[in-house]
C-alpha cells in the first residue's frame, strides 16, 4: 500500500532554511560592491562563478513568498469549505495575519533599531517628522509600499508580505472559479503590463502557483510520481530533469536578454522548481534536513537582522575572514546568536503571551466593528 505523502510544517521549515542559505549568499557575494573593498578568496571557484551563482540566489525571495501564500491558502482551505467566505470573514482573515506579522517583527525591529541608534548608524536622514513617519512605516511593514526612508533596505520584503496577505483571498476566489487558468491570467498581464524590476510586483507570479499547489497537493503528487518503476533510476531521472531545468532557467535569468523578456515568469518558475527539488531530494537527507529545519525555525530573525551585521554593525569584521565560506559562516553564526538573544527577550518579557492576548483583543474588537 502506497504511503500518502504530505508537505509538512517540517518540510516547510527545511525549505525556509534553504532560502536562508540563499539569502546570506546573495547578500554577501552577488556583486563586488557587497565586498566593501575587501579581498575575498572564493576557492575552489572563481569570483565570477561565485557571484553568478549568488546572483541567482535572489530567488530566496520567491521561495519565501511561495511558502507564505501556500500556508495562507491552506489556512483558508481548512477554515472555509470550498473557500466560501464572506467579505467580512476575508477582512478579518487578512487583519489577523497582518497584525500577527507586525507583532512578530516588532521585537527584532526595536532590537536592531536600538543597537543602530546607540552606535550612531541610523539611516533616517530626513527632517524630524519625515523620520518619525519612516520609523512608524518600518514598524508596520509598510515602508516600501509608501516609499519612506527605511532603516535597512532588507526590510522591503515586509511590504511584499503585506501585499501577499491582502492579495491571497482574491487569488483564492479567482482560483476557485477558474482553476489552473489563474496561472495564465497572472502570467500574461504580469509579463507586459507591470513595470519591470519592481520588487513589489515582480514576485507575484508565485501566488497562483502557491494557491494551486496548496489546493491540489501538487508537491506531494510530484514526489510520489514515478517516471520508471526502478526507485533508484526514478530518483536519478527526477534529479537530472529538475536540476537541468533549474540550471537552464538560472542561465536564462542571468542573461540580459532573458531578464529583459522573461523576468516576471522566471521569478515564479525558478522558486517553484527549487522548492520541488528541495522537497524531493533534501528533506530526506539525515544530516542536511535537520540543519535546514533549524535554520527554518530561526529564518524570520535571521532575515530581519543579518543585514545589520553584514552592512552596518560588523561590516569590516565580517569580511576580514578573507575566505567566502568563512565570511558566510561568521554571518550565519552571529545571526543565529542574535536569534537566541531575541528568544531570551521574548521569554523575559512574556512577549508571545502579551502579543497573543493583544491579537485576541484586536480581533474581538474588529469582529464587532467590521
Q: Is residue 13 part of a domain?
A: yes
Q: Which residue has the cell 477558474?
A: 178
Q: In the structure, what pLDDT confidence band is assigned to residue 3 with cuts at 50, 70 and 90?
A: low
C-alpha cell of residue 65: 513568498
Q: In the structure, what pLDDT confidence band is assigned to residue 5 with cuts at 50, 70 and 90?
A: confident
Residue 197 has pLDDT above 80, yes or no: no
Contact 126, 134 (CB under 8 A): yes
Q: Is residue 86 part of a domain?
A: yes
Residue 1 has pLDDT above 70, yes or no: no
pLDDT for residue 122: 82
Q: What average pLDDT does range 118-126 have in this prediction?
A: 85
Quick: pLDDT tens for 218-233. Answer: 999 999 999 999 999 9
Contact 246, 274 (CB under 8 A): yes
Q: Is residue 358 part of a domain?
A: yes
For residue 202, give its domain range: 9-369
Q: Is residue 331 part of a domain?
A: yes
Count of Cβ atoms closer than 10 Å to residue 241 Cβ: 12
pLDDT for residue 164: 97
- What is the total count of domains within the chain? 1
Closest CA to 298 of 23, 73, 30, 25: 23
What are the backbone dihedrals phi and psi of residue 41, each rounded to the nearest 5 degrees, phi first?
Answer: -95, 125
Q: Is residue 76 part of a domain?
A: yes
Average pLDDT along the chain = 94
Quick: pLDDT tens for 129-167. Answer: 898 999 999 999 999 999 999 999 999 999 999 999 999
Residue 370 has pLDDT above 70, yes or no: yes
Separation of alpha carbons 56 and 64, rounded Å:
15
pLDDT for residue 127: 84
Quick: pLDDT tens for 240-297. Answer: 999 999 999 999 999 999 988 999 999 999 999 999 999 999 999 999 999 999 999 9
Q: Is residue 1 part of a domain?
A: no
Residue 2 has pLDDT above 50, yes or no: no
217 dihedral zone (left: phi>0; alpha: psi -120 to 50; beta): left
Q: Is residue 165 part of a domain?
A: yes
Quick: pLDDT tens for 32-83. Answer: 999 999 999 999 999 999 999 999 999 999 999 999 999 999 999 999 988 9
Quick: pLDDT tens for 303-347. Answer: 999 999 999 999 999 999 999 999 999 999 999 999 999 999 999
Q: Is residue 251 part of a domain?
A: yes
pLDDT for residue 318: 95
pLDDT for residue 229: 93
Amino acid at each position: 500500500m502506497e504511503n500518502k505523502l504530505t508537505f509538512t510544517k517540517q518540510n516547510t521549515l527545511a525549505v525556509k532554511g534553504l532560502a536562508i542559505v540563499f539569502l546570506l549568499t546573495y547578500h554577501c557575494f552577488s556583486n563586488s560592491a557587497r565586498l566593501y573593498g575587501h579581498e575575498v578568496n572564493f576557492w575552489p571557484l572563481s569570483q565570477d562563478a561565485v557571484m553568478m551563482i549568488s546572483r541567482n540566489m535572489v530567488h530566496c525571495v520567491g521561495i519565501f513568498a511561495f511558502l507564505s501564500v501556500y500556508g495562507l491558502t491552506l489556512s483558508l482551505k481548512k477554515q472555509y469549505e470550498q473557500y466560501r467566505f464572506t467579505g467580512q470573514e476575508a477582512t478579518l482573515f487578512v487583519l489577523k495575519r497582518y497584525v500577527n506579522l507586525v507583532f512578530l517583527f516588532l521585537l527584532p525591529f526595536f532590537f536592531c533599531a536600538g543597537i543602530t541608534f546607540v552606535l550612531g548608524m541610523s539611516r533616517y536622514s530626513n527632517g524630524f517628522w519625515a523620520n518619525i513617519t519612516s520609523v512608524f512605516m518600518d514598524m508596520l511593514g509598510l515602508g516600501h509600499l509608501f516609499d519612506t526612508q527605511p532603516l535597512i533596505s532588507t526590510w522591503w520584503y515586509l511590504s511584499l508580505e503585506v501585499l501577499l496577505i491582502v492579495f491571497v483571498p482574491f487569488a483564492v476566489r479567482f482560483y476557485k472559479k477558474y482553476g489552473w487558468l489563474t496561472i495564465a491570467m497572472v502570467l500574461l498581464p504580469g509579463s507586459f503590463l507591470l513595470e519591470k524590476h519592481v520588487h513589489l510586483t515582480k514576485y507575484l507570479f508565485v501566488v497562483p502557483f502557491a494557491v494551486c499547489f496548496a489546493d491540489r497537493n501538487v508537491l506531494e503528487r510530484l514526489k510520489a510520481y514515478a517516471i520508471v518503476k526502478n526507485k533508484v533510476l526514478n530518483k536519478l531521472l527526477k534529479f537530472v530533469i529538475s536540476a537541468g531545468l533549474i540550471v537552464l532557467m538560472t542561465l536564462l535569468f542571468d542573461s540580459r536578454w532573458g531578464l529583459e523578456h522573461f523576468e516576471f515568469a522566471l521569478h515564479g518558475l525558478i522558486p517553484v522548481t527549487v522548492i520541488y527539488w528541495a522537497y524531493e531530494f533534501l528533506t530526506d537527507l539525515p544530516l542536511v534536513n535537520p540543519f535546514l529545519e533549524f535554520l527554518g525555525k530561526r529564518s524570520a530573525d535571521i532575515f530581519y537582522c543579518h543585514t545589520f551585521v553584514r552592512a552596518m554593525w560588523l561590516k569590516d569584521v565580517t569580511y576580514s575572514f578573507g575566505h567566502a565560506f568563512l565570511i558566510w559562516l561568521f554571518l550565519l553564526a552571529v545571526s543565529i546568536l542574535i536569534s537566541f538573544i531575541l528568544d531570551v527577550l521574548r521569554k523575559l518579557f512574556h512577549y508571545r503571551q502579551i502579543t497573543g492576548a493583544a491579537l485576541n483583543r484586536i480581533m474581538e474588537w474588529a469582529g464587532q466593528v467590521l
